[in-house]
Structure 1
Amino acid sequence: MIVFSRAQKLFVVLAAFFVANAILAEFIGVKIFALEDTLGLKPFEWNLFGQTGSLNFTAGTLLWPIVFIMTDTINEYYGQRGVRFISWLAVFLILYGFGFAFAAIHLAPASWWVGVAQNQGVPDYQAAFAAVFGQGLWTIWGSVIAFLIGQLIDVWIFHRIRRSTGERWVWLRATGSTAISQLVDSFVVLYIAFVLGPQHWSMDLFFAVGTLNYLYKMGAALALIPLLYLARSAIHAYLGHAEAQRMMHAAAAG
């Protein structure tokens, strides 16, 4: 009988939750929602780089702040190798999921299934399925490349700050690494998907939307700082303070 240590079980749980959130964020990201309408607020007409509009974001932004928290938590206890491993695993499984989604789109639909949701306002279920799960290749590659670059930058900045501050100021290394990594992530995904992609956004629109997405992500990351400390307390209670401290020192030492 194989017996797993608490540290091993914790890594499996954290990695599974991280990957699940990353995959869900990619798949639900096809939906664009209006933040003001969702919150019941009057539309905020922003004006940036000569562009105006309301606050519209992909539904994936609901989950990315959780991914940031998971990244920093794994970084804290399992170091750079732990974060790199789960980042590459997430990228592989995201591409794996999209691969099967595209395969499912091209399966011949049952004739009765195509119109099964007509009374719900969906006259062609096959077309709806293809539209939701068949995100453009430019969007998929842009998102995956931006995610991976952001993760690698995040883990590097996190440990640079940690070496300078020691174990103090958890919020600083978490927020600082997120601030830099998401600055890159927010603009890389839009540039690949919408500037290089078939829509050929103007640079003014690119900078305006990228800035709004970045401010939203940073606002959410700051709001979730208490969750980072809550996760830290829960991990120390589960592992025991001595074991948690040992893992943190080992992670910091690389």
Structure 2
Amino acid sequence: MFPSARSASPDDRRAGLLFLVLSGFFVANALIAEFVGVKIFALEDTLGLAPLDWNLFGQSGSLNFTAGVLLWPIVFVMTDIINEYFGRRGVRLISWLAVVLIVYAFAFAYAAIHLAPAGWWVGAGRNQGVDDLQAAFAAIFGQGLWTIGGSVTAFLVGQLIDVSIFHAIRKRTGDRHIWLRATGSTLVSQFIDSFVVLYIAFVLGPQQWPIGLFLAVGTVNYVYKFVAAIALTPLIYAARRGLDGWLGRDLSERLKRQAAEE
């Protein structure tokens, strides 16, 4: 994608540095979201509000989400920024890289779980209310294969759909309406992401969720992501202004033109 460091011009090196930084931040967010996603939190309690007690598809309850939802909207915003400057190839490259590294990280997490724990370490957390650190470690890092498979599949499908919609809108609007291509592509890809992961992990998986529960939880999660995507739209404009200033007008326009012409 980029020329060698020795032969690269200052502009090429700056573009390569930008891609490296954006890719690193993107992959880090995706990895963190996967690992913290095992925690389920109550939104109302976190904000100090009374439970909403929603009722959808015959299901009711409070607003409970995985902790990963805090990071996934940022991942999709990063996708749109990389889309803007590096096009389809850039997004596909970092998406596949993130998937490979997520699988790699979980493989080593499983290996770590099966290492024989030191006897003193197992009970070292009792003063913190954790009687068995080995069991806690296994519960946190040993997410089921159905959950991992669903999450990785949903992430990759969502990314590929995001990049396709982003460029379809860009083709029709040119450099105008950044909010439309960024938010529009994110809203569609987040919809796919919200339902695919739940269907694979909890409907096809061993828990065998009823369809009503699947639709209710998926809808609540998507509404949250919908609101987050709209709320983060100004961040796209701020990031673009900052990157345009750092890259310089000529380089910025060249990168965006190349991304649009792929």
Instruction: Name the structure 2 match of 1:200.
Output: 208
Instruction: Name the structure 2 match of 1:136.
Output: 144
Runs of 4+ in 1 over 6 A off after TM superposition: none
Q: Shift in Å at residue 218 of structure 1? A: 1.0
Instruction: Name the structure 1 match of 2:122.
Output: 114
| TM-score under structure 1 length normalisation | 0.98
The 5-angstrom pairing of residues 62-101 of structure 1 reads: 62-101=70-109
Q: Shift in Å at residue 226 of structure 1? A: 1.2
Instruction: Name the structure 2 match of 1:9.
Output: 17
Q: Secondary structure at the match of 1:5?
A: helix
CA distance in 2, matches of 1:216, 1:241: 36
| TM-score under structure 2 length normalisation | 0.96
Instruction: Name the structure 2 match of 1:183.
Output: 191
The percentage of counterpart residues that share the same residue type is: 69
Instruction: Name the structure 1 match of 2:228.
Output: 220
- The gaps in structure 1 that reach 5 residues or longer are none
- The gaps in structure 2 that reach 5 residues or longer are none
Q: Secondary structure at the match of 1:149?
A: helix
The reply to whether residue 105 of structure 1 matches residue 113 of structure 2 is yes
Q: Shift in Å at residue 202 of structure 1? A: 0.4
Q: How many pairs were matched up? A: 254
Give the aligned residue type for 1:106. H
Q: Secondary structure at the match of 1:52?
A: strand
Instruction: Name the structure 2 match of 1:240.
Output: 248
Q: Shift in Å at residue 155 of structure 1? A: 0.1
Q: Shift in Å at residue 108 of structure 1? A: 0.2
Q: Shift in Å at residue 242 of structure 1? A: 1.4
Task: Give me the CA root mean square deviation.
Answer: 0.9
CA distance in 2, matches of 1:226, 1:182: 18
Q: Shift in Å at residue 9 of structure 1? A: 0.2
Give the aligned residue type for 2:78. M
Instruction: Name the structure 2 match of 1:52.
Output: 60
1:61-81 Cα shifts (integer Å, max 9, x gaps): 000011011000000000000
Give the aligned residue type for 2:181. R
